[in-house]
Structures are given as structure tokens and as C-alpha cells.
Amino acid sequence: MMNGVIVIDKPAGKTSHDVVREVRKALGIKKAGHTGTLDPLATGVLPVCLNEATKLAGFLTGDDKEYLANMLLGVKTETMDTEGKVISRSGNFVSDEEIKSLVSRMTGKIKQIPPAYSAVKHCGKPSYKWARSGILPDLKPRDVTIYSIVVEKIDFPEVTLRVACSKGTYIRSLCSDIGDALGTGACLNGLRRLQSGIFSEKMAVDLRDYAGDDKKEELIKKILPMTELLPLTATIELKDHSAAKLRNGWQPSVEMLKEYDLPLLKAGDMVKFINGGYLLAVAQMLAPVDNLSAFDGKTQAAKIVRVFNYS
């Protein structure tokens, strides 16, 4: 069974779901899903989880992102990108210095209101469905972090920005906010995701470059194995007898873990259990490693949150 993540270079004009469907068909598998939706307008890094790796999707969507964005000044649209209906135009001119000065002040933790035309849920329904029916939902501001934002190029009225940000950041909203602050209005004219956590565009497969068996072979060749995912999470290599217990539904006890050379983990830290070259489970520590001796051996030391079946 194929398990792991393939990084796809999503082309413009396709939805993230379209890409997943194409990967699923090319590999002949039933279970696949993406992490971090890209709008049809956007291109670039789209990690696709295969089979057992879909259980890790929730851990991967929280990763930081990096984008290359093209912003069009002087135009505001309903969707905050050039695919939406134009609601205003401005002939106001701003200098390169004004743009760079304003953009340089956009870093740090900010409050951002998601676009009305987005998948953010409002009263149990995606916001874009309300917007398409003529109702603009009252979406609440969210805390997001802009780690860095660099002006790569200015060819007025277009501005190219490189943005490193936290999960949940809407680049459309960022462009709109910059346009409002400049007094010109703005919308997103193009977007490419360069990085999503550990996944970069250098790893990405452009499905348009392959067909038939060649596509399948290239995808199989580019599968990142489960053991290479969550690289910042501490790893414990289990012996066969401990691995068998976890496969049978046991939760890791203090006694079980004491026989291993454990990394320094606190209560609440995540840990990966590996056996025989396979990612067996992901767990959350319930007790600090440096204090395990204070607990009875039968005390549960960690809670399994994901277990993987390769049969």
C-alpha cells in the first residue's frame, strides 16, 4: 500500500480537490486528501496525503506558509481577487517609496477578517455559499502572524510580494488591507505557494509534465514516507514487543517507556513511535519524562492520538 505525502505543483484554474482526484486516479488508490486549500487562481505547493498519511493531515495543516503574491493596486473586487466582480476603481498614484514603507509595517501579529468568499464556516455553512446567495456574513477577525513581507518588484499598478506567514492567513485579505491603507484599493492578481511547512516547490511534481504510466511512476518515486513527516516531533524507536502491544490497542505505560532512552519530553508534548522503518503511532505525553520514576509502572504515560495500519 502507498502511504505518505506527495507534493504537487498545483496549476492555476484547478481546485485543490481536482488535483487530489487526479492523483488518486493516477495511482489507483481510493484514499487521499490535501492539506491547506489553494484557490483555483493560485499555483504551487499542495501536499497530498495518501492512504494512512491522511490521518496526519490535521497535524500538517497548521504549518507556516510562504507565498509569492502579485497585487493589483487601484481595483477592489467582491472576492478580493481579479476573478471577482469589480466594485470600485481608483486612479490614485502612490510612489515606490510609499508602497515599500507601508508594506514594511505589515509584519507581526495582526487581526485579519477572512474574505466573505472563503471556506470559513458561518452558522455551519461555508462563507462563500452565503456570499453567493447575496448575504455577506459577519466574519470575526482572526489572529494571524506575518513573519516577513518583502516587496520583490513594483511595476505600478502591480506589486509582487514575498510573504512568510502563519496558517490561516488570507493573502487576498492582506492585499486588500494594503490597498485600503494606501488609499488606492487593491486585489490579488496572482498567487504561488512556495512553501508549506517542510514541503517546498523543489519537491513538487507538475502533473502536466507526465501522462499514463510515466505519471504513476513519477508520483510513486516522489512519495515522502510516513517516517519523514513531522520531523520536529520527538521519535522513539520501539522494540517489537512494545510495538505489538500498541498495535493491540495498549496505551503506553510508564513501565513500557522506562526501558527506552527517552528524549526530554514534557506533559503535552507530541511523540512519534516507530518500529521496523514504519511510523506506528503518534501520541501525546501525559507525564514529563524526567519525572516518570514518580509514577506507578502501570500508569499511562502517553495517550495515542493516531495509530497506523499497513496491512
3-class DSSP assignment, residue 148: strand
In 3D, which of 150, 139, 199, 200 has the Cα closest to residue 173?
139
| Helix residue spans in 105-239 (DSSP H) | 127-132, 171-182, 212-221
Beta bridge partners of 66: 164, 195
**CB atoms closer than 10 angstroms to residue 232:** 8
Contact 191, 202 (CB under 8 A): no
- The set of residues, in sequence order, having a beta carbon less than 8 Å from that of 67 and lying 6+ positions away, is 44, 161, 162, 163, 165, 171, 191, 192, 193, 194
Is 39 in the active site? yes
Listed in sequence order, the residues at least 6 apart from 292 whose beta carbon sits closer than 8 Å to its beta carbon are 254, 257, 258, 262, 301
Q: Which helix H or strand E contains 70, and what residues bound it?
A: strand 65-73
Amino acid at 120: V
Record the cell numbers describing residue 96, joined without a space. Answer: 515606490
Catalytic residue among 39, 63, 81, 177: 39
CA–CA separation, 114 and 131 (whole Å): 12
Separation in Å, CA 154 to CA 48, 66, 177: 34, 19, 18
171 in Cβ contact with 71 (< 8 Å):
no
Say if residues 98 and 182 touch (Cβ distance below 8 Å).
Answer: yes
Which sequence positions are flagged as catalytic? 39
